[in-house]
A and B are shown apart, each in its own frame.
Chain A
C-alpha cells in the first residue's frame, strides 16, 4: 500500500503536479504514515530522478522548476506534522542566497533556492540588490554554512569578489563557504575571486552545496 503511494508521490514530483503532490502528502497524514518516510521514500525520489534526467540533458529546465515547486508544496504540508512529532527532516545545511548589489536579476538564483530546499537545505533567500553587509549579517544571524551569490551582469559580478574579501577580512572563512553563479560566471572567475565553487545550473549547484557542507 505505502509502496504504491511512494511511487505516486515520486511521480507527482517528476510530472511537476503540485496539486497532486499536496493531495498525496495530505493522504499520507490521514493514513498515519511517518512524514519523514513520506519525504525520503516518496517525494525525494522524484526530485532526485528529475535532477538526474536534467543532468543528462533529458529533462527541461521548466520541468525541474515544476518538480522543485511541487516538492516545496508537499514538504510544507508535512512539516507541521514533523514538528508535532518533535522531529525534523535532516537538514543538509543552512544557506543564504542573494543577488549582489546593483543587480536585480534573480530567476536563476530563485531556481537554485527551489532546488536547494527541495533537496533538504534550509534556504534564506534575501532577494535582489543585496550589499555585502546584509548578506554576511544574515549568514551570521542564522549560522549559515553557505552563501550563494548571483550576478547576471558583467558590471555587477565584481561585487561577488567584494563579499568574499569582506568575509576573509572578518576571518569568517572557511567557516562560511561561498558559491557564485549567474550567466557571466565561469569556473575561471570563481577561482580568481577565491570562491569555493560555481555551477552552470541548479542541479550542479545542489551537488556543489552538498560537497561544500560535507554531505556528498
Chain B
C-alpha cells in the first residue's frame, strides 16, 4: 500500500538539510583518537573534542552503504529488509519479567532468556529474535554475550545480536554466530551513541570493529525529546538522524559498502514523571523517522509495540496498538517491541503471545487493499443477485478467506455473551494469552545444536571471560 506520510516532501528535505547543518555546525562530542584520525583524514574538522562533518562526506557515506540487509537464522531462514515487507522483532534487554498469572514481577535470569527465545521461536509473527532479557545472574561485562549465547540454541529464526558496548564483544559475537552457520555479513549488531551527539571511546572503537567484521550495523540512537534532544519532535528526529549518520560515516570509511540499517529509538519525555515511551508521539516520531530514513533509501527499524503499562490492561493495548500501527502504515521495514511492557524495563511471556496476534492485525493493515477485478467482484455480485442472494456459499468467499482477506485472530474474543459466559467461563484475551504462552513453553521444541557446537560456544564464552572480566 502507499505509505502514510506525516510530512511533505519539502518537510523531509528541510529535515535532511537541518541534519547536515547539525553535523557540520554542532558536530559530535568525540575523543577516540584512532577514529578521529580516520575522520580527519576524510575531511572532518576536529576541535575541542568535537568533530564536525562536511555535508559531502555524509552524502558520500550514505551513497556507499549497502541498504538492503539480509539477516540469517541458523536453519538458513533469511529476512530481507528493504523490499517492502514488514518484519517484527521482540524487545531486547528487559530487566524484569512480569508474571501475568500472578500479577507480580521478578528479576530476569538466563533461564528467562532461554524460555523467551523458545516461545518467540513458536510465534509466527516474531520474524527476528533478539535476546530478550538481561540476566542478572552473569557477570555484567559478559551480559550481552551471555544473552546471545543463550539465545542461539533455542531458535532457528534469524537472531539479532545483542546491543553491544565494547569492541571486544564484536569479535566474540561474530565467532558465536559463525558456529551456528551465520556469517558476519548476515548478523546484526547494534550500539547506542549518547544523546545529545556524543560518541564515547568504547563506542567508537566498537563501530570500527563492527565495520571491519562486516556485520550489519543497526545502531540505536535513543534521544529523549525534551531532555536530551529538542522538545519538538521533528527537531529530535533531526538530532537522532545526525547521531546515527555520524556512526555511518566512520563505518563507511573503515569498510566502504558495509551494511547499515537506519534505526530510531526516539522517546518523548513524560514531563510529569521524567520517564518516556508510551504516548502516541512515539508512533508519530517512529513514522517520521521511517519517512526520513526512506528518503535516503535505507531500510528503517523503529519502535513498534510500546507502553508504559505494568499489566495487560486497557492502557497497554491502546498504547502498543497505536505505536505499532502508525509506523507500520508509514512503511517501516522492521518494528521492535514484541513482549515489551513498562517502557522497555519489563517483558512478559503472555505479552509476547498477545503481540504475535496484534502483529498479525498490523500486518493485515500494512498489506492494505486491492481493487483489481477479482477483488471488486462485480461478476460475483451479478451471480449472487441472479441466484442465492447471499455470498456465504460462493467459492469466491472461501477463496479470499483463505487468501487472508481477514486477519483471523486466535485470542481475541469474538463470541456472544452467552457463549463467553457459559463455555468460555468469562475468559478475556489476556487469559487466553497466559494459557497459550504456558502451552507453548510446555510443548514447543527447537532442534538443538550439535554437542560440538555447544562446546564451541562455551569455549568462546570462556575466552571472552578471560579477556573481558579478568582484564578489569
Contact = CB atoms under 8 A, between A and B. Distances in A.
Contact of B401 (A62, A65, A68): A62
A60 B418 contact: no
A61 B392 CA distance: 7
A34 interface: no
Nearest to B399: A62
A186 B397 CA distance: 28
Given A60-B401, A62-B398, A63-B398, A110 B416 contact: no
Contacts of A101: none
B273 interface: no
Interface string B380-391: 000000001011
A24 to B, nearest CB: 18
B453 interface: no
B392 A65 contact: yes
Interface in A79-128: 107, 110-111
B394 interface: yes
B136 interface: no
A200 B397 CA distance: 22
B428 interface: no
A187 B418 contact: yes
Given A62-B392, A66-B393, A200 B416 contact: yes
B384 to A, nearest CB: 11
Instruction: Say what secondary structure dominates the interface of chain A.
Output: helix
Contacts of B393: 16, 62, 65-66, 68-69
A16 B418 CA distance: 30
A111 B398 contact: no
A200 B417 contact: no
Contacts of A68: 393
28 contacts: A16-B395, A16-B398, A60-B401, A61-B392, A62-B391, A62-B392, A62-B393, A62-B394, A62-B397, A62-B398, A62-B401, A63-B398, A65-B390, A65-B392, A65-B393, A66-B392, A66-B393, A66-B398, A68-B393, A69-B388, A69-B393, A107-B390, A107-B392, A186-B417, A186-B418, A187-B418, A200-B416, A200-B418
Interface of B: 388, 390-395, 397-398, 401, 416-419
Interface of A: 16, 60-63, 65-66, 68-69, 107, 110-111, 186-187, 200
Given A66-B395, A69-B393, A200-B416, 15 more contacts: A16-B393, A60-B401, A61-B392, A62-B391, A62-B392, A62-B393, A62-B397, A62-B401, A65-B390, A65-B392, A110-B390, A111-B392, A186-B416, A186-B418, A200-B419
